[in-house]
Amino acid sequence: MSAPSAARGPVAAVYQRDESFARHMDEIDPLRAYRDQFHIPRRRNGEPVIYFCGNSLGLQPKSARALLEQELDDWARLGVDAHFDGRNPWYPYHEQFRDIGARLVGGRERAGEVVMMNSLTVNLHLMMVSFFRPTKSRYKILIEDPVFPSDIYAVKSHLHARGLDPAMALLTIKPRAGEETIRTDDIESLLQREGESIALVLMAGVNFFTGQALDMQRITAAGHRAGCIVGFDLAHAAGNLEMRLHDWNVDFAAWCSYKYLNSGPGAVAGCFVHERHGKNIDLPRYAGWWGNDPETRFKMHLLPDFVPRVGADGWQLSNPPILAMTPLKASLDIFDEATVPALRAKSLRLTGYLRFLLDQKPASWWTIVTPREDDGHGAQLSIMVHDHPRERFKTLESEGVVCDFREPNVVRVAPTPLYNTFLECWRFAEILARQV
């Protein structure tokens, strides 16, 4: 092995450049067995790809098929009676995700702060119905730049629906000139300066483009000091970061589950509503029968007035899509067994090791724009390519690397702790270094 090099961050003490070191790290990895619980795509030659695209679509848990077949069998065998008599009854099916979902994002267990429902953008719309309540003096929404397109579409449409002009009512916080990521100090300063006019702060937990993990605790505290409601899009944070949404006093959050949560394309999403809001049944909201008090849910036309269930369940519109939720169960069972803290610790080792390797192979044609500090990033490293970005991305693909490209010139790579290895990081660095 070559001479050791100190690695930044508390979870990794020493990294080395040799392939043998990567293999050793995989051998001593306490989570290594989880890779075998996922289907790894293969190249035409039969070799597994280097799948660094969990930030876009996670891999399929092998257990998902059996769970799905079980529900199909119960449907065939029991019909409607499977709602109560199935092996995993459908009527209360969504309730099994309450506490496991709370453990995932740092909600309070047994408080009903988490519900799995709909898709991410639908949930953001539902949250804004309740939590964006503009007044004549406090009517603005604060977001970050760059922001995921679906979020900006949702925000602008809500402003239009409330009769507000986004040119006046939409605020964006951007990186400083010459920088790629946003400073928390600048968010706090903006909120102190303009907070009296801001009704809602809505930001990402991890920025989709740069991979920066925002300081949700500080942002929430600053927003509340200014009198704002604070919510987060956790699309790239759920299953990636260790969070404490309840303790941080976050008002609401929403996330998809097809990325790091490995629940399949277009999978059922999640939503967090802080306990103090969940208890407030007078909050305005869009209503549907599955958000109604279950004690009266089936009285239907006899009780036409909506009475929301306490907790995040009170924002549900429709009964849960069982066949779509079974892969979510397969994945979250794995997360609950592995535990988010252990996965986060391995994630920091993986990304720290990959960055270390790339630091040993500097090139003029790329720069990592994701923050280096452990608390400043998730599993994703965003590599800004300075020349021929699409051609270089195609070269990675031809070498068996599955990652993704974001216009105009960023390649996103995400070594995820459930199924990626240190050896894959080493191989990726070698492939990247061969490009001149």
Q: What integer is the mean pLDDT of 371-396?
A: 96
Q: Tell me which residue has tokens 């080395």.
A: 16
| 113-122, 289-298, 304-313: segment of lowest average pLDDT | 289-298
* Assigned CATH topology for domain 69-337: Aspartate Aminotransferase; domain 2 (3.40.640)
pLDDT at 5: 40
Q: Residue 22: name the closest of 328, 245, 287, 354 by CA.
A: 354
Q: What is the pLDDT, as a whole number, of residue 10?
A: 39
Question: Rounded distance, CA 61 to CA 328, Å?
Answer: 9
Quick one: pLDDT at residue 302? 85
Cα atoms found within 13 Å of the Cα of residue 346, Cβ hemisphere only: 25
Return d(Cα 335, Cα 410) in angstroms, integer. Answer: 29
Q: Are 317 and 127 in contact (CB under 8 A)?
A: no
Q: Is the pLDDT of residue 9 over 50?
A: no
Query: Model confidence at 349, in pLDDT bands (50, 70, 90)?
Result: very high
242 CB-near residues (< 8 Å, 6+ apart): 106, 340, 341, 344
Give the pLDDT band of residue 363 (cuts 50, 70, 90): confident
The CA-based dihedral angle spanning residues 253, 258, 259, 261, taken in that order and rounded to the nearest 10 degrees: 80
Does the pLDDT value for residue 101 go beyond 50?
yes
pLDDT at 45: 94
Report the share of the chain in percent with pLDDT over 90: 92
Instruction: Name the CATH architecture for the domain at 5-60+340-433.
Output: Alpha-Beta Complex (3.90)
Tokens of 307: 């009475």
Q: What is the pLDDT of residue 177?
A: 96
Q: How far is CA 42 from the centre of its chain?
A: 26
How do beta strands 114-116 and 401-402 pair? unpaired
pLDDT at 402 over 80: yes
Confidence class for position 265, pLDDT limits 50, 70, 90: very high
Contact, 373 vs 381, CB < 8 A? no
Residue 420 host element (H or E): none
Q: What tens digit of pLDDT does each residue of 176-199 get?
A: 999 999 999 999 999 999 999 999
pLDDT band at 11 (very low <50, low <70, confident <90, very high): very low
pLDDT score, position 303: 83
Domain ranges for the chain: 5-60+340-433, 69-337
**What is the distance of C-alpha 74 from the center of its chain?**
32
Both tokens of residue 407? 């216009």
Convert the pLDDT of each residue in 161-174 to its tens digit.
999 999 999 999 99
Question: To the nearest whole number, what is the mean pLDDT of the chain?
Answer: 95
Residue 327 pLDDT more than 90?
yes
Lowest mean per-residue pLDDT among 9-23, 320-334, 345-359: 9-23
For 408-412, what is the mean pLDDT? 97
Q: What is the mean pLDDT of residues 123-148?
A: 97
Q: Which residues pair with 413 in a beta bridge?
A: 381
pLDDT for residue 436:
77
Residues with Cβ within 8 Å of 373's Cβ and at least 6 positions away in sequence, in order, are 8, 9
The predicted structure's pLDDT at residue 301: 81
Tell me the torsion sign for CA atoms 288, 294, 298, 299: negative
Q: What is the pLDDT of residue 304?
A: 86
309: pLDDT confidence band, cut at 50, 70 and 90? Answer: very high
